[in-house]
Structure 1
Amino acid sequence: MQLPIQSQSSLYAEPWEVEATPDDLVEIARTADRAGFAYLACCDHVAIPRRLAAAMGTTWYDPVATLAHLAAVTEHVRLMSHVAIVGLRHPLLTAKQYATLDHLSGGRLILGVGAGHVPEEFEVLGVDFARRGPVLDETIDALRAALGPDEYPEHHGKCHDFSGLGQRPRPAQRRVPLWVGGSSPAAVRRAATRGDGWLPQGDPRDKLPARIARLRRLREEAGIEEPIVVGAITEALYIGEPSWPVGRRTLHGGPDAIAESLRAYHAIGVDQIQVRFRSRGRAELSDQMQAFAAEVAPHLNP
């Protein structure tokens, strides 16, 4: 699941998150850790322009700082950037931050990356927004080198060129999983040819089969034999019958009915699902997470 509180877009944030505290964030992470969730995810935006603030908000926690903080209070749950706009930063800077996070967390990092969509962020940081796609492609290649096992990584490209520069600590994982976010044709191609996983951005169920088929076809054409983890973001969930309006698009009801609905994702080729729960406060969210883990999740895996 993606963490609440750390990003507060009006598209998905609950009203209670505005007044939530760092302690709330910690307790939610601990609940996920105890309940056996696979990963917790944190978004990435540097600054939001006024023209987008009404929809996106300006609360966007830094993913490295947030995930490092939560790494210290959890033991098992993996820590993912969903997604880091790595084209905004030099890959050696990104590698230093995320390698340290992986080292400190004992190898729990999943590096999710994406192209970004806010021109003003790129402009203020001196990065060409129009070329963000090619820049991201090369940045992924550079990060593969910089997050690999070599203390002195090497990369020679059009945007970045480095060698003979050592970085320690190295990641705890020999290969940090790199998942590509986005549902555009370019993002699907990027995931197929460069990623260990694909994170579609809220595609409706009926759109996923065609995109998954294209993803696998492009990967096969590229001659890549390693499997790719295919993800999906589910509808908002509420376990049980709510006594308050959760929205007509929220999947709610008994655990068996919810599990049956979610199993359809596996049938169309999805390997992991990212879930979000409707809630009116931290306590209700924690209850929903625990109910999902105990009563729904055991019925999802084939």
Structure 2
Amino acid sequence: MGPVLANGRLVYGMQLPVQSQSAIYAEAWEAGAGVEELVAVARAADRAGFAYVASCDHVAIPRRLAGAMSTVWYDPVATLSFLAGVTERVRLMSHVAVVGLRHPLLTAKQYATLDHLSGGRLILGVGAGHVVEEFDAVGADFERRGPVLDETIDALRAALGPQEYPSFQGERFAFDGLGQRPRPVQQRVPLWVGGSSPAALRRAALRGDGWLPQGDPRDRLPGRIARLKALREEAGVVEPIVVGAITEALYVGEAAWDTGRRTLTGKPEALAESLHAYRAMGVDQIQVRFRSRDCAELTDQMAAFGAEVAPHLND
């Protein structure tokens, strides 16, 4: 499997529809969709040159949040493993796995198997989580979720490395002499850290191979990217970090329906010119989202983006 980025060029990926249906971003048609639509979108991403497709992670949603978040949250390991079998090239990303809900050896077992079965296509995106009831239900520490995530990332580095018998000693987790196979295909599984808080930014800078901001507007990104790189430099981390951004909603062409005032629409060249701003900020990968009225329109939009917009992203 090749690198996530293609020779430093701006690449694009997307969160899958259907598998999470928060009212913030889900389209109306997703409520009645399922496996067939997920497969169609994943295959469309494969054909259209998308760097990755992503799946979210929540174990259970309390009633107080169900109206906004819904209770539809597919398991990311099961979802991405299934889609690995119907795709060939596109990478498979958790965006983001709330790894503090599980012991790191369990997380490592699941995602190492996914990487093995997919031929080395995993990107492990991780985040702290925000639903207190979810943590309480599984006996995880919500109040200390930040420090727990820091240690979990360190433990996952060990557990997802090349050694059959990984070793780790921390304050909360310790393991040694316990073998896990299959091992990941990748010598170093890309570990991208999600979140835009100061703590998340520091975590990404010190521990991540990539940073996944959570919908930061364009005017805030340059300052946060500068801070990310300054923290990394201060810590003496010399390896490059993959900087991400989530774009505005997109529609390639002129829609015959109301796509909403915050949607970027227009000719492919105009969309590419607008998206150039992300590259100028120092962004390496953009997560795109398309407005659509059904699955066919979504896959048509993906195809149009890959064929007509993407070739101009690096002009």
TM-score using structure 2 length: 0.95
Distance in 2 (alpha carbons) for counterparts of 1:209 and 1:137: 25
Aligned residue for 2:23, secondary structure, equals coil
Deviations 1:73-103 (A, max 9, x none): 0000000000000011000000000000000
Q: CA deviation at 1:142?
A: 0.0
Gaps of 5+ in 1: none
**1:199-238 equivalence runs, <5 A:** 199-238=212-251
Q: CA deviation at 1:21?
A: 2.0
Q: Could you say which residue in structure 2 is the equivalent of 1:149?
A: 162
Amino acid across the alignment from 2:16: L
> Which of 48, 51, 63 in structure 1 is aligned with 2:61?
48
Distance in 2 (alpha carbons) for counterparts of 1:180 and 1:83: 8
Gaps of 5+ in 2: 1-13
Q: Could you say which residue in structure 2 is the equivalent of 1:63?
A: 76
Q: Could you say which residue in structure 2 is the equivalent of 1:242?
A: 255
Equivalent pairs: percent with the same residue?
78
Q: CA deviation at 1:301?
A: 2.1
Q: Could you say which residue in structure 1 is the equivalent of 2:5?
A: none
Which structure's relative contact order is higher, taking Cα pairs within 8 Å and 6+ residues apart?
2
Deviations 1:125-159 (A, max 9, x none): 10110000000000000000000000000110011
Amino acid across the alignment from 1:222: A
Distance in 1 (alpha carbons) for counterparts of 2:232 and 2:180: 31
Distance in 2 (alpha carbons) for counterparts of 1:153 and 1:301: 41
Distance in 2 (alpha carbons) for counterparts of 1:121 and 1:242: 40
Q: Could you say which residue in structure 2 is the equivalent of 1:79?
A: 92
- Give RMSD over aligned pairs: 0.5
Distance in 2 (alpha carbons) for counterparts of 1:185 and 1:208: 13
Amino acid across the alignment from 1:49: P
Aligned residue for 1:276, secondary structure, equals strand
Aligned residue for 1:60, secondary structure, equals coil
Q: Could you say which residue in structure 1 is the equivalent of 2:293?
A: 280
Amino acid across the alignment from 2:69: M
Amino acid across the alignment from 2:138: L
Corresponding position: 1:139 with 2:152: yes
Deviations 1:185-231 (A, max 9, x none): 00000000000000000000000001000000000011000000000
Distance in 2 (alpha carbons) for counterparts of 1:86 and 1:294: 36
> Which of 266, 272, 276 in structure 1 is aligned with 2:279?
266
Corresponding position: 1:5 with 2:49: no
Aligned residue for 1:129, secondary structure, equals coil
Aligned residue for 1:205, secondary structure, equals coil
> Which of 40, 47, 51 in structure 2 is aligned with 1:38?
51
Distance in 1 (alpha carbons) for counterparts of 2:125 and 2:71: 21
> Which of 24, 30, 35 in structure 1 is aligned with 2:37?
24
Amino acid across the alignment from 1:56: M
Deviations 1:55-87 (A, max 9, x none): 000000000000000000000000000000001
Deviations 1:241-282 (A, max 9, x none): 111111100000110110000000000110100000000001
Amino acid across the alignment from 1:213: A
Q: What stretches of structure 1 move > 2 A for 4+ residues in a row?
A: none
